[in-house]
Amino acid sequence: MQLPLDNTIVVELGHSVAAPIAGLVLAELGATVIKVENPQGGDDARNWGPPFLHGAAGMFQAINRNKYSVALDLKNDGERETLRRYITEHADVVVQNMRPGLVERYGLDAATLRKHSPQLIYCNLTAFGAAGPLKNTPGYDPLLQAFGGLMSVTGHEGAEPVRTGPSIIDQGAGMWAVIGILSALLRRKDSGEGCEVNTSLFETALSWMCMATAAYLASGNVPKRVGSENGGMAPYKAYQAADGWVVIAAANDNLFRRFSQAVGHPEWADDPDMNTNSNRVRNRVKVNALVADVIRTKPRQYWIDTLAAVSVPCAPLQTLDEVLNHPQTAAVEMLQTSADGKFQLMGLPLQFDGERPAFRKNPPALAEDNDVLLPKGARRA
């Protein structure tokens, strides 16, 4: 399978999650991604366990497959110059999320490198952005979920604040980096010029809050935590069945009418407190109490079957083992096996002509590919 980024060389000066996610997506799309790591232990994420999977933390393995690992001491003038020369002579893209100020100190910043290689696309992935009083402040996903407002609308009012389970800020920022890089590559085809791309965890957090922001600006009401609900629709949340939880999304008046009939209460659809979505939102406490009383009387699968029969959107709340064992997961073939057959990881959620990019190369051991940049004999264990 010919991939879109075949013959593209990316240098990842990345650690933890955000920049490695960007590198992962670019590698899955066919780019040769050279991950530059500290020879003393490598990417911190290698040790973020247990659990460990074939020599590194499962979290590291999940986001570093199809890459090459080169361990360089950036404090060493010779090794730093080797990297700088490789980038200016060979690389199409650099993506970095190093501590603020480090790439400038090492002469590996966009301005320095693009002076010698104007076609280079250089992506900075920072915590708080390229300007402002916090521009030099480092950050991690939960800090930005808190600072960016996500925690203020996640979970249940009155309960302890919670972050979303997946690292949605880190992963989202990595995806924005890829979108910027792909856009710059497309523009370079016409102009021949590269550019500097900037994104950040904070800007990603703000983008996730776009609908909450619009609601606040329209109403003046500060959004609150509403559990599994959506502030603009009802019923639209998780309800407890007799043996588990089911999420019901009767998101418009036609769906609510069908839902009401299916659960044996057709009169709900004509109740002036519930006959339109706006009225249901205003009276969500009443709506949710009525729905909850009905849903708890039957098992989860009963409601899944009953509501599916009348095309009312619903889904069981599944644990990860249930998700991975579901026939739909098998059908889409997202879970991929390494070429050596030793383990499985989740693939890229994209297909080209019906084919998903392959799991081509195991996540690299630290310094596994030093020969790419360093002469033989300089390879580190």
Do domains 9-208+334-372 and 236-318 share one topology? The answer is no
| Residue at token pair 């699968």 | 301
Sequence-ordered alpha helix ranges (H) in the chain: 18-28, 58-62, 77-90, 102-105, 110-116, 141-147, 168-191, 201-208, 210-219, 253-262, 277-282, 284-295, 300-309, 320-325, 327-332
Instruction: Give the pLDDT band of residue 377 (cuts 50, 70, 90).
Output: very low
Phi-psi region at 132: left, alpha or beta (left = phi > 0; alpha = psi -120 to 50): left
pLDDT in the model for residue 341? 92
| pLDDT at residue 214, rounded to an integer | 96
> Residue 375: is its pLDDT beyond 70?
no
The average confidence (pLDDT) of the chain is 95
What whole-number distance in Å separates Cα of residue 136 and Cα of residue 127?
8
Phi-psi group of 101: left, alpha or beta (phi > 0 → left; psi -120 to 50 → alpha; rest → beta): left
Comparing 379 with 283, the larger pLDDT belongs to 283
Q: To 10 degrees, the CA torsion angle through 59, 65, 67, 73?
A: 20
Helix pair 168-191, 18-28: axis angle to 10 deg: 50
At 295, is the secondary structure helix, strand, or coil? Answer: helix
Instruction: Determine contact, residues 315/308, Cβ cutoff 8 Å.
Output: no
d(CA 306, CA 312): 9
Catalytic residues: 170
In the chain, what are the domain boundaries?
9-208+334-372, 236-318
Q: What percent of the chain has pLDDT over 70?
A: 98
Predicted local distance difference test score (pLDDT) of residue 223: 94
| Partners of 241 in the β-ladder | 244
Q: 231 pLDDT band (50/70/90 cuts)?
A: confident
- Span 130-173, pLDDT tens digits: 999 999 999 999 999 999 999 999 999 999 999 999 999 999 99
Q: Residue 295: pLDDT above 60?
A: yes
The rounded distance, in Å, linking the Cα atoms of 93 and 33 is 9
Predicted model pTM: 0.94
CATH topology of domain 236-318: formyl-coa transferase, domain 3 (3.30.1540)
Question: Is residue 381 scored above 90 in pLDDT?
Answer: no
Task: Return the pLDDT at 303.
Answer: 98
| In contact, 57 and 47? CB cutoff 8 Å | yes
Place of tokens 């989202």: 172
**34-80 per-position pLDDT tens digit:** 999 999 999 999 999 999 998 999 999 999 999 999 999 999 999 99
What pLDDT is recorded for position 374? 77
188 pLDDT more than 70: yes
Model confidence pLDDT, tens digit, residues 306-354: 999 999 999 999 999 999 999 999 999 999 999 899 899 999 999 999 9
Is 14 in contact with 22 (CB distance < 8 Å)?
Answer: yes
Q: At 336, which helix (H) or strand (E)?
A: strand 335-337
Dihedral sign from CA coordinates of 251, 253, 259, 264: positive
Phi-psi region of 34 (alpha: psi -120 to 50; beta: other; left: phi over 0): beta
379 has a pLDDT exceeding 60:
no
Q: What is the mean pLDDT of residues 292-319?
A: 98
Which CATH architecture is the domain 9-208+334-372 placed in?
3-Layer(aba) Sandwich (3.40)
